[in-house]
């Protein structure tokens, strides 16, 4: 392995190896036999080929924020950490595409293309640290996937290392698939089909207008009614999220987000798109929130103000840590 990645990028020290013993699912741990930190696709291919030749198990790791244990190492295997491969290799603002390495953090992609009036739409709450490679493996989404879709809707091509150590491409970078959709199959396969070493992502034009509405309710049911009414009116908000009293209280204590005191539910509705469309939808959303019994409605179009309101929701995961040192996160689906 040292021949492939260089001695400083191969970790064997037992204490250092323990750094990698789990991901965000901290109840499951295993110390890997070896950790390697490759810096090129060819190095990843070399490591995987060597593992395949000797029948050694391997696991890829991005930033280790996964909540399903996908990056938990094999105690007799090699953990291949992608965090040194973190460059944005190419930005094509006309074709609205970028080629990135898998270890690049989600938010860095948007930062690299913002000056072109573009952004990378999938926005998991962990986007400051999680890697695009991890996003591909988990098919991650975030608050804005309601309108903009999940990672699978924003990946146009992948260079991968197959389990036998060959480098190959899935997808041709256009997003148009004829025949078997191997790109779609790989996205969300949790690292079981190979290791992504380059990712062609779709870039989205930044919307002309963005407006965030916060509505506070005395019951969860009333907030839920507003959600159904908004969707029923044919509006697809960029994001629509609701928090209950306990999560509001936890977020308030953690980041002082200034949500209305004593609310049983806070609903956040973000609208984006052409200014005229957002303005029209805003009036409808406002009246539907009111009709459902909102006791307070705030609206913000200023980016700083919006970020302040979102801070409560985006910190909710970490904020719950203040209530209990150990908890299990579950994503449920509740019919509208």
Instruction: Give the binding site for ligand FAD (CB under 6 A).
Output: 23-24, 59-67, 70-71, 82, 102, 124-126, 130-131, 133-135, 137-138, 140-142, 190-191, 195-196, 317-318
Q: For ligand FAD, give the closer residue by CB, 196 or 240.
A: 196
Q: Name which of 123, 134, 110 is nearest 24 in CA terms.
A: 134
The Cα 163–Cα 157 span in angstroms is 18
What distance separates the 2 farthest-apart alpha carbons in the chain? 68
**Closest separation in Å from C-beta 71 to ligand FAD:** 4
β-strands 239-244, 265-273 pairing? antiparallel
Q: For ligand FAD, give the closer residue by CB, 153 or 284.
A: 153
Q: For ligand FAD, give the closer residue by CB, 142 or 165.
A: 142
The Cα 133–Cα 103 span in angstroms is 6
Give the contacts of 177 (CB within 8 A, at least 6 positions apart).
171, 183, 184
Q: For ligand FAD, give the closer residue by CB, 133 or 171.
A: 133
Answer whether 66's CB lies under 8 Å from 138's CB.
yes
Q: For ligand FAD, give the closer residue by CB, 34 or 60.
A: 60
> How does DSSP classify residue 144?
T
**Closest separation in Å from C-beta 283 to ligand FAD:** 30
**Closest separation in Å from C-beta 259 to ligand FAD:** 19
Q: For ligand FAD, give the closer residue by CB, 78 or 137.
A: 137
The Cα 125–Cα 299 span in angstroms is 22
Answer whether 119's CB lies under 8 Å from 107's CB.
no
**Closest separation in Å from C-beta 97 to ligand FAD:** 19
Residue with tokens 């030749």: 53
> How does DSSP classify residue 63?
S
**Closest separation in Å from C-beta 131 to ligand FAD:** 3
Q: Which helix (H) or strand (E) element contains residue 132?
A: helix 132-138
**Closest separation in Å from C-beta 60 to ligand FAD:** 4
């Amino acid at each position: 392995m040292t021949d492939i990645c260089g001695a400083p990028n191969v970790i064997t020290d037992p204490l250092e190896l323990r750094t990698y013993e789990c991901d965000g699912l901290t109840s499951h741990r295993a110390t890997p036999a070896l950790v390697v930190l490759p810096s090129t696709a060819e190095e990843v291919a070399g490591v995987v080929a060597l593992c395949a030749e000797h029948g050694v198990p391997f696991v890829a790791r991005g930033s280790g924020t996964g909540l399903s244990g996908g990056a938990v190492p094999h105690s007799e295997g090699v953990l291949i950490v992608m965090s040194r491969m973190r460059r944005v290799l190419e930005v094509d603002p006309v074709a609205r595409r970028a080629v990135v390495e898998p270890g690049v953090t989600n938010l860095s992609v948007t930062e690299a293309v913002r000056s072109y009036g573009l952004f990378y739409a999938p926005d998991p709450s962990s986007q400051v640290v999680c890697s695009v490679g991890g996003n591909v493996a988990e098919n991650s989404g975030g608050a804005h996937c309601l309108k903009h879709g999940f990672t699978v809707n924003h990946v146009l091509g992948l260079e991968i290392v197959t389990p036998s150590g060959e480098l190959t491409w899935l997808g041709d970078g256009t997003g148009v698939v004829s025949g078997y959709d191997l790109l779609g199959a790989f996205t969300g396969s949790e690292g079981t089909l190979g290791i992504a070493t380059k990712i062609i992502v779709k870039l989205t034009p930044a919307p002309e207008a963005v407006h965030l509405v916060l509505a506070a309710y005395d019951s969860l049911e009333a907030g839920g009614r507003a959600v159904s009414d908004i969707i029923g009116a044919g509006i697809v908000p960029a994001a629509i999220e609701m928090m209950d009293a306990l999560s509001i209280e936890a977020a308030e204590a953690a980041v002082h987000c200034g949500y209305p005191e004593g609310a049983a539910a806070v609903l956040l509705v973000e609208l984006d798109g052409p200014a005229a469309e957002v303005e029209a939808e805003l009036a409808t959303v406002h009246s539907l929130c009111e009709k459902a019994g909102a006791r307070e409605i705030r609206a913000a179009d200023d980016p700083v103000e919006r970020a302040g309101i979102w801070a409560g929701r985006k910190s909710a995961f970490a904020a719950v840590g203040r209530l209990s040192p150990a908890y299990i996160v579950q994503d449920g689906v509740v019919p509208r």
